Structure 1
């Protein structure tokens, strides 16, 4: 009988509560879906890992460390579920670590990030609209994505385009679509009240500082400077059961195939 290890890999966060309601909640959902397996955690951010060690005196494995522990415990099947939203830099780094040990396992299963297929995009767009249905002509919802210099930045632009005409908008902190573009669209569309929420797995530093803070450069402050009323929502995507189950579905679908090294 196979001994299955499931490695759940995410960027991580230093914010304890959002870690519990997002990353931990998804890990629990995965464990419940695959009770025969043992779930392991890894964070790809070295800064997050270091700060958790310093502030909480807890160690979180990097993907390399977690894979070493899985090997040492004699698991013959390795399942990996990425909690990254796109197949960007952090995802590729995690996959590189997996590829280094692939031959050590009889079977390897890789669950893709949240936005992998066209259906994933369509499903996520549907959820965004369902969570905050816009009922007034001057109301809108602005989602703050992280963004990336990797080619995966196009995922954010794609979602923003798919939300076109719904009074839902999606910009990115570190790439296109940039905040000024989304701000101009809000003003052009006559939006006077906007719900502002992170399009990120967790509501971490970007959500608390770059999105919803009194700092002059935050998205909230910049929107309010244009006369738009802002209602910030500090909730990560990973806290929604629909998103949790999408990750479970990705892993379940991947498990139907998987690479066999026999």
Structure 2
């Protein structure tokens, strides 16, 4: 193989969540037959010591395996949504890999989904264009992302503002970074939609894969879920649980970032 492509993502242990990511990797393999495409996780152990991502290897392990096969040029494509904490931890891990025996390899890193204001504009339009048919004119749209520190939080705020300009009933909120704490974004969304007399809202996860956050925290039956809070306020919910990596308009953005990374390797 002339080069390698590493798709670096958080992933999920939730049943079925990884199918879309695997399909995306297979598609890139067909588009880039000269490259070895592999999926890697960018987290270690979480959730009480159990492995996130199942048996998928971490980024340095995948890079070491590629180096053993003689691959010297690798594009590491971030499948994170924003340049948040986990993305920067991945970059730090790449630096450590280079310092500890990886200097024979040349890397180029593809940006996360939202890495510029142009990305924000493009993605906001894709969110609305990708809605399933059937949304009524007075039905709300609630999009849930994962919380992030700056600079990632700034991209979320820009997306929130852009969606609102495009659709007066579209609301974006970010989950708290810690479980079990109040969610100010959700409380504001519930109050706002209630004040506007919205009686139905579509729920969309703004997450790479539709794992536990999408199925439980957003659309779960528990009273504390976003669905539970909205329905307790009299707003019927219509979840549309598809990860971003399953949506062609979103993967097109990542593919463009990958093309930039591969061009830097040429």
Give the TM-score range, shorter chain. Answer: 0.7 to 0.9
The Cα of 1:3 is off from its aligned counterpart by 2.6
TM score, norm. by length of structure 1: 0.88
Q: 1:101 to 1:135 in 2, by over 3 A?
A: closer
Match for residue 19 of structure 1? 18
2:203 to 196, 199, 203: 196
SS of structure 1 residue aligned to 2:210: coil
Match for residue 59 of structure 1? 55
Give the aligned length: 254
Q: 1:3 to 1:136 in 2, by over 3 A?
A: closer
Match for residue 176 of structure 2? 174
RMSD of equivalent CA atoms: 2.4
Q: Residues 72-221 of structure 1 correspond to what in structure 2 (within 5 A)?
A: 72-102=68-98, 104-105=103-104, 107-132=106-131, 136-165=136-165, 166=167, 167-174=169-176, 178-221=185-228
Gaps of 5+ in 2: 178-182
User: Following superposition, which runs of at least 4 residues in structure 1 exceed 6 angstroms of deviation?
Assistant: none
Gaps of 5+ in 1: none
> Can you list the C-alpha shifts for 1:6-31, whole angstroms capped at 9, x where unaligned?
1110001112422112x112212322
TM score, norm. by length of structure 2: 0.87
SS of structure 2 residue aligned to 1:223: helix
Distance 1:197 1:181 in 2: 17
Moved more, 82-91 or 168-177: 168-177
The Cα of 1:228 is off from its aligned counterpart by 0.6
The Cα of 1:106 is off from its aligned counterpart by 5.2
SS of structure 2 residue aligned to 1:163: helix
Q: Which structure shows the higher helix fraction?
A: 1
